[in-house]
Structure 1
Amino acid sequence: MEDVTFTRYDTADYLKTEADIAAYLKAAMEGSEDDPACITRAMEVVARVRKTICVAS
């Protein structure tokens, strides 16, 4: 059997602009009506992205 290697997926890697962040938060809010923890996770991702953007600036 062939070894398969997977890379770690992190949504934060794909949120590059404020428009990306806004669309991500909108999708999280629309898709999480029954799971408030989903919004919390989305906010944590956005916080990490914004911290990275501030450090890079």
Structure 2
Amino acid sequence: TTGDVHVIAKAIGIVARAHGMTELSKETGIKRQQLYRALGPDGNPTLETMLKVLPALGLRMRIEAAA
């Protein structure tokens, strides 16, 4: 796995575009342009954005203790 935020944002952006950005915008209350910017190849989404976007896409983030 990679810790590169841009790779992660881009991957979530691909899922978001497949879901439909207009629908995602309605579900999250985040403007479409903001979503495209945050979830694009150079995106750097905030934690607040991710906590809205991931559940709307049927995804979740998991944090666990390092080994």
Shared fold (TM-score, shorter chain, > 0.5): no
Given the two structures, how large is their TM-score scaled by the length of structure 2?
Answer: 0.30
More helix by share: 1
Q: Which of the two has higher C-alpha Rg? A: 1
